[in-house]
Chain A
Amino acid sequence: MDRPVKTETIVLWLCVGVIAIAGLAPIATITIESFQQNGHFSLDYYRELISSARFWPLLGNSVRLALATTAVCGLIGVPAGILFAKSDLPLRFGSMWLLTVPFVLPPYFVALGWARVVARLGPNASDWLFGFGGCVLGLSSVFLPIAMLLTFASASNVDRRLEEAARLVSGWPGVLRQVTLPLSAQGIVFSLVLVFLLAMGELSVPSFLRYPVLPVLSFTQFTASYNFGAATAAAVPLAAIAFTGVFVESAFVRERNYRFRSTGQTLLIPLSRKRSGLAIVVAALCFVVVILPFGTLFADAFSPVAMHQALQRAGASIVRGITYSAVAATILMALGFLLGHAMLCRRRQLRSVNLLTLGLFAIPGSVLSIGLVRFWNTPNTWFIYATPALLILGYTAQYCAVTTRLSVAGLMMIPVSLDEAGRLSGAKWARRFLRISIPLSTRTLLCAWLVAYILCLRDVPIALMTAPPGADPLAARILTLMANGAPPMIASLCLIMAIASLIPLGILALAIPSQSPT
């Protein structure tokens, strides 16, 4: 007799189906195209790519840049996350959220801010910024919050009883080394993999700062040659590296699948004499990473004329950007939570779904967008193609990995015993999901929604390529207005964008550290 299909299996496959429609099918469409020339199977695009004199140096540059960015984020972000989660550093939450600001804005904002800083410093600084050093600075500023926040979250969730027990036999350095860091390793490794993947695929900062990287090659095929097959072929190495990163991360966490049981309180490391010194270091970091570039960028933004012009030019785009992002965030939150829940019930599928979502996350937005255009532009699917639905699908495919991971992390903190008790009392999956998982995950759901909203709002490539005519969101409009737009007006638009992103960041800041450290 056939075994009945479980509800969680159906949910899992429905969610995978949505991701397949949103991301996998478009990518498959253009991947097939990359293996065809004149309607016949051909490996010519790949042969040309590998034999191209520029391919290996560009790949080398990309890897070098991604490794350097990951190293800087690891060396600064991980200690900063631990410091903010575990110490009595003054103004630690304020500093942490201030350092998060570059991540919630489009990456080119940081590069633009630094370009304005060095314009005042002179040509020597300009020479340094426009190259490898400037790119590492820009990308590290943007991605530092990933390492910092995920370390903070992982370290905050370590059960204080374990640390208290360790504290009986060891000093704080030993506790951190033997208990806190190993128990936070999963989150830290994930954050570093994420930084590496994002730095590998990032185009706007390297192209603005004139450092040639592999995504530029793919991009050039789109812009200069209009050759979609060749452009997709050029993006394949990026996807391959992304998958390798995901494999490495999965292999690392396979044996370390902890279930945390947070007590809602965190032990604090008393910094005593080092308090002032560390506070100065953190303040200097905040100044260099946030205040200096953004202060310079926003310096001209407050003039009433510029603000009026900005609102006149982009008022509707602001509303659209917020609306699209809110709708996409709601879908991403629901999809990520359902997927996360179903994945925890069916752990065998965990790795495959992880691979799928992270692969889509790592694929450059411009490649995904071309795939979406190719796949959905048919007379019968105008209701998708000619409406914001296409943009929402793009966001869903690209950012589903983030909400799924956040949901899995949140769900893993719910004691298994609650679900088991529900199961023993005869509750079906759906009932346990509605009555146990959702009520205990309100903070997880809120965080997932806010993070998804911020990611969608700051996205540029998908917005630029898939927004319907006359309905572009703000991030895309700023970029198109930047060409010959008056600098004060652009500064005002950047400020408006920053406000639209920082309001949810403020809510996130209020939502996350609701557990008071003791």
Chain B
Amino acid sequence: MNISKQIRLVLILLLAVGLNSCRSASSKAVVVYVSEDQVFSEPILKDFERETGIAVKPVFDTEESKSTGVMNRLIAEKDNPQADVYWANEPVRADALKQRGVSTPYVSPSAEGIPDQFKDPDNYWTGFSARARLLLVNARSPIKPASVTAYTEPSARGRAAIANPLFGTTTDYVAALFTIWGDERAKTFMDEMKKNGVKTTTSNGESADFVAAGQVDFSLVDSDDAVNRKKQGKPVEIVYPDQEPNGLGVLILPNAVALIKGGPHPENGKKLIDYLLSKSTERKLAFADCAQIPLHAGVDTPPEVRRIEDIKPMRVGYADLARKMEEIQPFLKEWTGQ
């Protein structure tokens, strides 16, 4: 055999081994697309990997970085799915996948004990470890808002902030107002808020920083942003808005996990879902910097994280929210001028 033939043979063997290893390595793996912030989700996935021996191959995305998003990737991959699990940072995205036929139903044994309000009725996704939309108020501010309607009061003129409602959890919140109040009242509220000189920020994190620095008096933010600033010793107070008996309530936005239809490792995907929905994962996420609220009753929480049973939540269906979000896009684009 001459040298060139030998080289060719070695190359073919290497290629075969390489391709085979790609295929065989994947059988002890699970591919998860993650919208939850990487700093919080990655340690959980590492723990799963350590405890089960199943290699986790994640694709991360963040709401705050406004990246194009794993959500788009999942939709684009619909005909040939590469992911097994989608870990969404709020149920609306998971519900959008259900609507587009990207996910498939799965009832996890770990989901027992999670209130039905935080699950898809058809089991396409299940919620866990939630954020709440809270008011973060500067401790030195003369304004002490107890309701989201404080945004339209004359005392808040030019002294309040809100993250860009075209993105992230602020879109959810605005869609919730449209769903509960109806279009007319919600539009009036948004317009009055704008007239009152509300500052639009790029993210909830930036809104929280504005409040902490005293650049504004208050802002609607996510509970993790609020708890973070509190932990950093900033002069801020956390207000759970609209808690009176007839009040609007607090919008609770759980993480949501969904099994992808036709994913390459469905069994490993189910194991990961079971793990994510467990009480131990909820406990870890409550004590992490994201300070998320466990949805199982009786899970330990640090003092700054309220238990779900102590909060009056907004009564809104996440599927309705998803539909409303699409519906109000033109209004929001006009409102933001984008």
Contacts and interface: CB of A to CB of B under 8 A. Distances in A.
B59 A482 contact: no
Contacts of B96: 226
Interface in B292-338: 326, 329, 333-334, 337-338
Contacts, number: 130
A369 B77 contact: no
Contact of B65 (A58, A220, A479): A479
Contact of A482 (B64, B69, B71, B167): B64
B249 to A, nearest CB: 26
Interface residues of B, number: 52
A154 to B, nearest CB: 37
A343 interface: no
Given A483-B64, A484-B290, A222 B69 contact: yes
A469 B82 contact: yes
Interface of A is mostly: helix
B39 to A, nearest CB: 5
A124 to B, nearest CB: 12
Interface stretch (A205-213, A355-363, A447-455): A205-213
B68 A461 contact: yes
B257 to A, nearest CB: 16
B44 to A, nearest CB: 14
Contacts of B64: 482-484
B169 to A, nearest CB: 12
A191 interface: no
Nearest to B63: A483
Interface string A368-381: 01100110011100
B186 interface: no
B311 to A, nearest CB: 22
A395 interface: no
B167 A481 contact: no
Interface centre among B39, B57, B69 (most CB of A within 10 A): B39
Interface residues of A, number: 49
Contact of A467 (B59, B166, B224): B59
24 contacts: A58-B338, A210-B202, A224-B166, A225-B326, A226-B72, A313-B42, A366-B68, A377-B79, A383-B19, A383-B22, A385-B80, A386-B82, A461-B68, A465-B72, A469-B33, A469-B82, A469-B83, A477-B60, A479-B62, A480-B61, A480-B65, A480-B67, A483-B205, A484-B289
Interface of B: 19, 22, 31-33, 37-40, 42, 55-69, 71-73, 75-77, 79-80, 82-83, 96, 166-167, 171, 202, 205, 215, 224, 228, 289-290, 326, 329, 333-334, 337-338
Given A226-B71, A470-B55, A484-B64, 12 more contacts: A53-B334, A222-B72, A226-B96, A313-B42, A377-B76, A465-B72, A480-B60, A481-B39, A482-B62, A484-B205, A484-B224, A485-B38
